[in-house]
Copies of this chain bind each other. A is one copy, B any other.
């Protein structure tokens, strides 16, 4: 089972309006609401692929209850640790006239130290049943910067590899704990390392403690730097659509490949195909299975020559 962790999940609300006009009142034509957050999206993709998964993290208040109910309806098992604060909402206002989306992102509840300790106890129990753990997204207010480092350590202590998809201080603080894989995007990679070349930046993250680094480069595919070599994986075509959740789909494929022990080139081809199939679907966590099947054998995966050794990340 692949256990995902979403410490700051959300209720993602979609409001479809005829046309968004600032400073006026709008009747919402159609309301959608579903559980969101990067780890939740990863579990949704894994579930659709027929793989057992468990959503963990923190949830509280009526919005947390709405998240639990929607996960239940989607048949996604969850073991979210209760918190007193209210789970955040995101509101995406879709302008039916232009097709554009305006989003409002709440910050999320402040997590208290005893709530974090309670989550750690729940996490320890879940890790016993996990083949891989996936740690995704930003940390909610109140959590220590090294929260992901603590979770990577707890997983490694039980010989369970951890896949980490976060950015900034939370990413940097987790590297010395030795995550099996980190998956920054190009901006996050540059920001974490101060290095503009993705290959050099990925090597710097490895030097700082990550076993493997897969960077998502948007429509240009993936760059992987691993103990077994370095690769670029490029989609055979560019798809138009909604890129939200494409990175989460790549993480789902990479976690699945790690759990199954398939070769890196195969993992990367799957990750690029699933990512592209997500761009072709309207909602994060959903993918177009036809696009997925069509692309998975057409992704161009080629090895990269090794770089000269780099100094460790300061």
Contact = CB atoms under 8 A, between A and B. Distances in A.
A313 interface: no
A212 to B, nearest CB: 30
Interface in A101-138: 101-107
Instruction: Name which of A28, A86, A105 has the most chain B CB atoms within 10 A of its CB.
Output: A28
A103 B25 contact: yes
A23 B98 contact: yes
A24 B102 contact: yes
Interface string A13-57: 101010011111111100101000000000000000000000000
A297 interface: no
A190 interface: no
Interface stretch (A74-82, A89-97, A215-223, A303-311): A89-97
B22 A20 contact: yes
A143 interface: no
A62 interface: yes
Contacts of A88: 31
Contacts of A238: none
Contact of A28 (B17, B25, B104): B104
A302 interface: no
A25 to B, nearest CB: 4
Contacts of A86: 33
Contacts of A89: 13, 31
A17 B100 contact: no
Interface of A: 13, 15, 17, 20-28, 31, 33, 61-63, 65-66, 69, 86, 88-89, 91, 93, 95, 98, 100-107
19 contacts: A13-B89, A15-B91, A15-B106, A21-B102, A22-B22, A22-B100, A25-B103, A25-B105, A26-B102, A26-B105, A27-B107, A28-B104, A28-B105, A31-B88, A31-B107, A63-B66, A65-B65, A91-B104, A93-B104
A88 B65 CA distance: 16
Nearest to A27: B105
For the complex of A and B, list the 5 residue pairs with the smallest distance between their C-beta atoms, beginning with the closest.
Answer: A62-B66, A23-B100, A25-B103, A62-B62, A62-B65
Contacts of A69: 62
B101 A23 contact: yes
B26 A103 contact: yes
A228 B308 CA distance: 96
A244 to B, nearest CB: 10
Instruction: Name which of A25, A28, A62, A100 has the most chain B CB atoms within 10 A of its CB.
Output: A62
Contacts of A15: 91, 104, 106
Nearest to A66: B62
Given A91-B15, A91-B91, A95-B23, A28 B62 contact: no
